[in-house]
Every structure is written in C-alpha cells, then in structure tokens.
Amino acid sequence: MREIKFRVWDEEYKEYGQPFTKFVTAEDGSEFEFVAFRFSYGIISLSDALKNPNRYITEQYTGLKDKKRTEEFPEGQEIYEGDIVKADWRVGKWEIVFSDGGFVMNIIPDAHAQIFIQNELVEIIGTIYTTHPELLSK
C-alpha cells in the first residue's frame, strides 16, 4: 500500500508549505494525526487548504520516486502531481497529473499525449509553479 501524502502551493505568496504532522488527543482520549503546512507567514492545516482551492493548490504524492539518486535523495525524489519530468524513452517535458483514476504524464505544453509514469525512467526537473517558463514551452 502506498503512502498518502500531499504538498500545498500557496498561489498568493507563491511558495510551497513545509509539511509537518502533530498527534492530537481528543477529549474522549482518542488520538488522531493533524497534517499542516508551515509557510513564511504562518501555518495552514491540510483541511483548510482543501477548503480554499482558489488560493491553495493541493498536490498528491504518486507513491513513486524518480530515477535520480543524490545525497539528499538516495532512493530518488518523490514524484507529486504538478511535477515536471523528463523521460528517458520520450522526447520533451511532461507534467504529472491525476487523470481517469491514476497518475499519468502529459506532454508539455499542449497535453496532446498522455502516458503512464515509469518512475525508474523519469527525472524531476521542476514543478509547474516553480519552474522557469522556458521549461514549460516546447
């Protein structure tokens, strides 16, 4: 079973929040996990981010990691919706999206081709929010 994780982009401040979890005990003694994101201006819970989709863009973890191994990411970098990748077996740049019940790669810039992700053959080169515009064009 894959790990369910999210990252959150703030459209107003143009930054990703740093995720953290906190375990909270309710009055009845039950415990639950509180997921939130730390931004430069404060903290937003995942539930608050989901309630405000015009400002906060929530991207889900695909359960896959890319092929590039570094000291920071010895097992590869986690692949999320909104990541821009290059693929060994295809020309161009691809955006990771959720479509028809699964994560796929759409060709940039016009999404006329869509294929399933092969994580050992792709490398993350940015995200649709933080990548330079020239990477998002042909």
| pLDDT at 3 > cutoff 90 | no
Residues of the chain with CATH 2.30.30.290: 61-136
Cβ atoms of 34 and 80 within 8 Å: the answer is no
Sheet holding 31-39, edge to edge: 18-25, 31-39, 42-45
Count CB neighbours of 107 within 10 A.
18
118: left (phi over 0), alpha (psi -120 to 50) or beta: beta
State what percent of residues in the chain have pLDDT above 70. 89
Q: Label residue 133 by pLDDT band (50, 70, 90).
A: low
- Residue range 45-104, pLDDT digits in tens: 999 999 999 999 999 999 999 998 999 999 999 999 999 998 887 778 888 999 888 888
CA dihedral 128, 50, 5, 44 (to 10 degrees): 90
Q: How confident is residue 135, by pLDDT bands cut at 50, 70 and 90? A: low
pLDDT at 50: 96
Half-sphere exposure (Cβ direction) of 14: Cα atoms closer than 13 Å: 3
| 127, 68, 119, 95: CA torsion to nearest 10 | 20
* CATH architecture assignment, domain 61-136: Roll (2.30)
pLDDT band at 2 (very low <50, low <70, confident <90, very high): confident
CATH 3.40.50 fits 6-57, yes or no: no
pLDDT tier for residue 111 given thresholds of 50, 70 and 90: low
Q: Using CA atoms, how far apart are residues 120 and 138, in angstroms rounded to an integer?
A: 24
CATH 2.40.10 residue window(s) in the chain: 6-57
Residue 5: CB atoms within 10 Å:
14
